[in-house]
Structure 1
Amino acid sequence: MQDLTLVMAQLDPLVGDIPGNTETAIETVREARIEHGADVVILPELFLTGYPPEDLLLRPSLETRLREARARMAEKVARDVMVIVGYPGRREGGNWNLAGVLYNGEWVGEYAKQALPNYEVFDEQRYFGVGDAPLVVEHKGARLGILICEDVWEEGPVQQTRDAGAEILITLNASPFHQDKPAERLALLEQRAGEVGLPIVYVNQIGGQDELVFDGGSACVAANGELRVQAPHWSVGLMPVLFVQEDGAWVPRAGEVDEDVSAEENLYCALVTGLRDYVNKSGFQGVVLGLSGGIDSALSLAIAVDALGPQRVHAVMMPYHYTADISKQDAAEQARMLGIEYEVLPIESMVESFMETLSASFAGTERDTTEENLQSRCRGVLLMALSNKKGLMVLSTGNKSEMAVGYATLYGDMVGGYNAIKDVYKTWVYRLARWRNSQEPAIPERVIERPPSAELAPDQQDSDSLPDYDVLDAILVRYIEGDMSAEAIIAAGFNHDDVYKVVRLVDRCEYKRRQAPVGVRVTRRGFGRDRRYPIVNGWQPGD
């Protein structure tokens, strides 16, 4: 019986490192051939540049570097294996998102992506021309149809490739993660395979790149849409798919399938992966963060330790008059639990020095949030000083609910190079903390159970100025991700005053969010790449 082994290479490229990514591709093919007897090795979309390369695509020297990379692959890759790899290319005066086919030292085919996404985090129409022709290559008796990512989300390219004679569809992908995305992908593959009656091999990227994080989960479905093979999510590796001929058709044999995990575990892995790659790919020695004894910094600390190891994480408690004793105790306890470097730097003298300097300027005014923000800004100064001195990146710890309504201090707790939980709603912060503790204790239970507070004023609680987080997050999801108007949210059963307060805060605080550090994007509509609103505008919140 004739058979064919395709190997899905689920890899984590470094954007811009064309030589490094090329060597990874060469080594990957060698390993796939030796370990799995690969006939075909498939690498992700735009692998040689990494995804997304953004305006690196406009650099004049890019094409020269890619030609050198492809020449090296042609020289070094084994002659008896076909390689399908993604890269950009300048052809006929334009840029294209391409999949190249290498065999026996020659580039025997090149496919240009036809469906260019221009929504959510995608901006491909800025850079690429639209392909219009299918590519089907024959290898060892099998006709392989090549597609790239968004092509499989639309009917046209898939049907066109089927009509061109493909017997197996292969799609190269750099598909970012967001909550519920893995299930959406599998449902799509099942639908497309059933529509054209062909098996689909779907190879996805892994790892973090700035705000984006890629979960892998490369998969093969049979012609009826049944899942036959799936690579693990959140790990680099090779996954073989064995095809055999049965009744004149190529059929994938059942192989390993990654087990389903909870929504909390999937999200937590995304945050760990995004932070780990941002720190490591940027060359930081580690991270430093303010540990307040509250839930957000506690979860951020657990993520940092899981991403980098305790030896690369430094936490600082910076108490003031309003810092509760239990906050100090819980912060110290968590530092002990996780085995990190920890110190206490009181800020009373700093705040008092600033207040003395400002006393004449503040004469005749009432105490307000100015004094509260000053506490936060003193903490930001200390964190940045430690960052400079020790070569550590400051990890900020504000969640999406707070960032949405501006419940954060510019140049204070918003100081930082990255924020692992920037796109995580407060209600999910609690869910993640409980899930992490279910695996192994990492956060003191009292931190999870006590009411949240910024501790910038006596007996302060978040609920003093915001709706309860269950209500707040429900409103935010509808307004930010659903684009519902204030009146539509009220009609859905929410309190009029709460809704108008929240949407006004969201609109008013765009200027703050523009100055916040980047962070892992895990929802359908994160601030920054997804949701781009003008800072100055006259839009009315009821619209």
Structure 2
Amino acid sequence: MTERFRVTLAQLNPVVGDLAGNAAQARDAWSEGRAAGADLVALPEMFITGYNAQDLVRKPAFHTAAMETVRQLAVDCADGPALAIGGPWVEGTGLFNAYMILKDGRIASTVLKHHLPNETVFDEVRIFDAGPLGGPYSVGDTRIGSPICEDAWHEDVAETLAETGAEFLLVPNGSPYYRGKFDTRLNHMVARVVETGLPLIYLNMVGGQDDQVFDGGSFALNPGGALAVQMPLFDRAITHVDLERGDDGWRIVPGVEHRHPDPYEQDYRVMVTGLRDYVAKSGFHKVLLGLSGGVDSAIVAAIAVDALGAENVRCVMLPSEYTSRESLADAEAVAEALGCRYDHVPITKGRAAITETLAPLFDGLKPDLTEENIQSRLRGLLLMALSNKFGEMLLTTGNKSEVAVGYATIYGDMAGGYNPIKDLYKTRVFETCRWRNANHRDWMMGPEGEVIPPNVISKPPTAELREDQKDSDSLPDYPELDAILEILVDRDGSIADCVAAGFARETAQKVERLIYLSEYKRFQSAPGPRLTKRAFWLDRRYPIVNQWRDPS
């Protein structure tokens, strides 16, 4: 009779700080694994606390409570398969990122993470101590090695596990999305399989946490790197993976392989998931946003409806004397297409009252940017009043191009609790609108079809804060601006790199200056879902006050 070993992979969505809720998810997964005859039920890295919990994990009361929760979970799951779960662990004076194997009512084995990531969104070097290189743990007669997330991106941990008797590798992860991340993961894991000759199971979590969205996509590889199992991206899923032992050792029995969507769909799913989980995990149920008739607020409205349902989204048009009839018609058309509430709140009288109040102080001075920003800040005040009155989270709608160069009013259109398009350049906003009009998926709560009228996408972008204003009056055209930003921000390039790419030195210098001058705005801006490796928050940390400029 062929010897088999079943691993139940629980690709689930933990909530940071909800120890009881995360433990309940683990128990439910364990029960499902037990019913399916699993030998081991596995959950992702740091699942009991949620991830990325940052400095919360360092708080003694919190990590002590997390450890006690795991001990109780061991008792609750004593009669059945082993349960593997990630969480904090204290040994001596050290605090570790650990993977704990629960068997027979106790914590039978503890794996301590060796390589601590200290880049992009990760600060594990300042949070955890590095564990030693260790050996495998046993479940029944099978010896399993578990490199924890970053440990599997390096050769030494997997090689040490293979040399000390591991028969296959189970890699628990808290790996957040960025565009193209899956291929990077897969390439690293194939390398570990080729080096060790062992099958490998890669388990990731799903769901949003602040700016990070964990995209799942768990998979299993056989020796040589052949894909045997591919779980879905983004979806909560529990999958039973079987291994069979033959003359050459364990091999993973081929199972289901889910198709991965294209990059535009993945980005859109991240924005929807990020908003949905941020709202839910923050205790909100509804959102509102200012709907201007422009493309940015239109795509944010679509994301919000797809995330929460039209009945939970309020769109508010706040026109001034500079708001065109076209914008009024476009905003109403977007709200009607999406099926959400649409309120019309003119700001003309409020603006006149503020102008009259300030008139004695501004006497003799010409109108300038100050008066333009009063309009934006008045809109922010009114939207926040609605948020307070109705308990709806305000969404802000600035794209990455605007966030980069400060083309937004602090305490005005930057007001809000979350920004779904914070990491989406303007040129990609246009393409995302076209993609959403042409595509609908079952995870979208909004309607099918053309939800953003073509005129909204095709008309010249404008803030409409003065007569005949266009974004191009103040900024390079967006294709040029975004290409320069991609060099300076996403690639951390130089002015010389911009010039080599064919852009005028003066234009690149202007953009660079605006990026640095806007640091204080970004420091106070709302979080938003991370789509790239150079999102504005934890990925890119610059001083607020900075006099340096690239001399190249």
TM range (shorter): over 0.9
Amino acid across the alignment from 1:442: V
Match of 1:451 among 448, 460, 466: 460
Is this contact kept in 1: 2:33–2:81, CA < 8 A?
Answer: no
Which amino acid in the other structure matches residue 540 of structure 1?
A: R
* Paired position in structure 2 for 1:402: 402
SS at match of 1:110: strand
- Match in the other structure for 1:32: 33
Q: Alpha-carbon deviation of 1:138?
A: 2.6
TM-score by length of 2: 0.96
Structure-1 residue corresponding to 2:273 = 273
Q: Distance in 1 between matches of 2:171 and 2:67?
A: 23
Q: For residues 309-357 of structure 1, give each alpha carbon's deviation from its aligned partner in whole angstroms, at most 9, with x where no partner exists.
A: 1111111001111111111111111111111111100111111111111
Q: Distance in 2 between matches of 1:338 and 1:390?
A: 21
| In 1: Cα distance, 2:316 partner to 2:497 partner | 44
5+ residue gaps, structure 2, are 440-448
Q: CA shift at 1:140, angstroms?
A: 4.1
1:489 corresponding residue in structure 2: 498
Report SS of the residue matched to 2:288: strand
Following superposition, the deviation at residue 476 of structure 1 comes to: 0.7
Contact (CA 8 Å) 2:193, 2:199: kept in 1 or not?
Answer: yes
Describe the SS at the equivalent of 1:61. helix
Aligned counterpart, 2:48: 48
Contact 2:67 2:87 in 1 (8 A): no
Per-residue deviation, 1:60: 2.2
Alignment-derived partner of residue 92 in structure 1: 92
Counterparts of 1:394-433 in structure 2, within 5 Å, are 394-433=394-433
Equivalent AA in structure 2 for residue 127 of structure 1: I
In the alignment, the residues of structure 2 paired with residue 2 and residue 75 of structure 1 have an alpha-carbon distance, to the nearest angstrom, of: 28
Which residue in the other structure is 2:220 paired with? 220
- Counterparts of residues 3-402 of structure 1 (less than 5 Å): 3-34=4-35, 36-402=36-402
Q: Is the 8 A contact 1:395 1:416 kept in 2?
A: yes
Give, as a single letter, the amino acid of the residue that structure 2 aligns with 1:462.
Answer: D
Q: Which residue does the alignment assign to 1:512?
A: 521
Q: Structure 1: how far apart are the matches of 2:184 and 2:515?
A: 29
2:446 alignment counterpart: none
The one-letter amino acid of 1:88's match is P
**One-letter code aligned to 2:288:** V
Distance 1:11 1:527 in 2: 27
Which has the larger displacement, 488-497 or 307-316? 488-497
Alpha-carbon distance in structure 2 between the residues aligned to 1:515 and 1:71? 40
Residue 47 of structure 2: SS of its match in structure 1? coil
C-alpha distance 449-475 of structure 1, shift in aligned 2 (>3 A):
same
Is there any run of 5+ residues in structure 1 with no aligned partner, and where? none
User: Is the 1:452–1:461 contact (alpha carbons within 8 Å) kept by the matching residues of 2?
Assistant: yes
Deviation at 1:389, TM superposition (A): 0.2
Q: CA-atom RMSD, angstroms?
A: 1.2
8 Å Cα contact 1:228/1:254 also seen in 2: yes
Q: Is the 8 A contact 1:485 1:542 kept in 2?
A: no
C-alpha separation in 2, matches of 1:68 and 1:500: 55
What is the letter of the counterpart of residue 289 of structure 1? L
Shift of 1:78: 4.8
Give the partner amino acid of 2:19: I
Q: How many correspondences in the alignment? A: 542
Q: TM-score, normalised by structure 1?
A: 0.98
Equivalent position to 2:531, from 516, 522, 538: 522
Shift of residue 538, structure 1, vs aligned partner: 2.1
Cα separation, 1, equivalents of 2:64 and 2:115: 26
Q: Check whether the contact 2:75–2:105 (CA below 8 A) recurs between aligned residues.
A: yes
Cα distance, 1:71 vs. partner?
Answer: 2.5
Cα drift, residue 537 of structure 1: 2.0
CA distance in 1, matches of 2:202, 2:305: 32
SS at match of 2:147: strand
Alpha-carbon distance in 2 for matches of 1:432, 1:39: 44
Tell me the SS of whatever aligns to 2:220: strand
Shift in Å at residue 184 of structure 1? Answer: 1.4
Matched residues, percent identical?
Answer: 46
Partners of 1:260 and 1:517 lie apart in 2 by: 30
Deviation at 1:66, TM superposition (A): 2.3
1:148–1:173 contact (8 Å) kept in structure 2 = yes
**Large movers: runs of 4+ above 4 Å:** none
Q: Hey, what's the Cα distance between the residues in 2 that align with 1:465 and 1:341?
A: 33
Give 1:316's aligned amino acid: V
Contact 1:77 1:105 in 2 (8 A): yes
Q: Which has the higher mean CA deviation after the structures are superposed, 349-358 or 362-371? A: 362-371
After TM superposition, give the deviation of residue 70 of structure 1 in Å: 1.9
Shift of 1:260: 2.2
1:33 maps to a residue whose letter is: R
Three-state SS of the structure 1 residue aligned to 2:178 is: coil
Deviation at 1:492, TM superposition (A): 2.5
Q: Give the C-alpha shift of residue 67 in structure 1.
A: 3.3
Q: 1:33 and 1:416 mapped to 2: Cα distance?
A: 45
